[in-house]
């Protein structure tokens, strides 16, 4: 067994928790003194650990004995999203969930499995908005991560679906998940939200990103949404919600409602 590890300022703990959420082999430990945390991910192979090192730096070392506490964490139960979707970390029998679309997202690497509060709330809002639209609506997913939101959009009736992430490894994982779930006709690619050259407008846009990125990117999002389209934002810490809301309103987005789960806020808006 191998372990990837990295020291980080405690203030970034929330970001690490979200990045590795759903990976049962990740451990975050605050070091005595309260200013530093150690982030660790236990891996079966050296290659898996080195892939994480390529993304985030840190170090990789071999363990001579297994950390059974880290490795024996149970997998999450399938997540039900309204009466439309089931998100599972393992293959399940579709007959167990009649009338629902099943998406399998294993806890590989560090791109989430769909059950983090930010992603789960995005999925619920996406279901709600999809029921207001006719089939074939256009959809853009910013910061796609594992690709679960993009896949959900396709299964909920979206026609044109584009999804991108700043992290090239996330794009690889998203493409793998789409192949695993036999969901096609999604354009997934590596891109930076601040440099993307786009002239299209979409009926629905989701952005599960950190608040600082959302605040800076909202004026761009206003150019990418059709009139009276829907914008879903997530990844917002509760203490940063009012700043995100003010920025969205300054971009003429009309708030439709928000949901706070723990320390996270997700919200939906109508485009001008």
Angstrom distance (rounded) from CA 263 to CA 261: 6
Work out the pLDDT band at 103, boundaries 50, 70, 90: very high
Angle at Cα 165 formed by Cα 205 and Cα 109, nearest 5°?
A: 125
Looking at residue 69, its pLDDT comes to: 44
Return the pLDDT at 67: 45
Longest dimension (CA), the chain: 59
> What pLDDT score does 1 carry?
76
Strand partners, 8: 37
Instruction: Judge if 108 and 243 occupy the same domain.
Output: yes
Do the beta carbons of residue 61 and residue 17 sit within 8 Å? no
Whether 66 and 183 map to the same domain: the answer is no
Rounded CA separation 249/247 (Å): 5
- The whole-model pTM stands at 0.77
Q: What is the mean pLDDT of residues 12-27?
A: 76
Q: How far apart are CA 168 and CA 171, in angstroms?
A: 5
Same domain, 35 and 101: no
Per-residue pLDDT tens over the stretch 142-195: 999 899 999 999 999 999 999 999 888 889 889 999 999 999 999 999 999 999
Residues 227/271, Cβ–Cβ less than 8 Å = yes
182-221 tens-digit pLDDT: 999 999 999 999 999 999 999 999 999 889 899 999 999 9
Cα-Cα end-to-end distance for the chain: 53
The residue out of 53, 71, 89 marking a domain boundary is 71
CATH of the domain at 26: 3.30.70
Is residue 18's pLDDT more than 90? no
The verdict on 83 and 55 lying in the same domain is: no
Tokens matching residue 166: 């700043």
Q: How high is the pLDDT of residue 64? A: 64
**What CATH code is carried by the domain that includes residue 158?**
3.40.50.150
């Amino acid at each position: 067994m191998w372990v990837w590890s990295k020291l980080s300022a405690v203030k970034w703990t929330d970001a690490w928790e979200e990045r590795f959420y759903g990976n049962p082999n990740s451990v975050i430990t605050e070091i005595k003194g309260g200013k530093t945390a150690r982030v660790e991910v236990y891996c079966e192979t050296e290659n898996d650990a080195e892939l994480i090192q390529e993304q985030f730096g840190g170090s990789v070392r071999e363990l001579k004995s297994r950390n059974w506490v880290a490795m024996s964490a149970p997998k999450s139960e399938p997540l039900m999203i309204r009466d439309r979707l089931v998100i599972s970390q393992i293959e399940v029998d579709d007959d167990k969930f009649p009338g629902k679309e099943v998406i399998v997202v294993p806890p590989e690497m560090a791109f989430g499995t769909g059950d983090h509060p930010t992603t789960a709330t995005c999925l619920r809002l996406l279901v709600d908005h999809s029921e207001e639209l006719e089939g074939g609506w256009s959809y853009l997913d910013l910061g796609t991560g594992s690709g679960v939101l993009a896949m959900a959009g396709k299964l909920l009736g979206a026609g044109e679906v584009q999804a991108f992430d700043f992290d090239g490894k996330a794009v690889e994982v998203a493409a793998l998940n789409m192949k695993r779930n036999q969901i096609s006709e999604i354009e997934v690619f590596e891109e930076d939200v601040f440099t993307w050259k786009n002239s299209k407008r979409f009926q629905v846009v989701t952005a599960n990103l950190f608040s600082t990125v959302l605040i800076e990117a909202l004026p761009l999002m206003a150019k990418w949404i059709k009139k009276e389209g829907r914008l879903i934002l997530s990844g917002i810490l509760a203490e940063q919600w009012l700043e995100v809301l003010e920025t969205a309103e300054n971009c003429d987005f009309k708030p439709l409602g928000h949901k706070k789960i723990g320390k996270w806020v997700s919200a939906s808006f109508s485009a001008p």
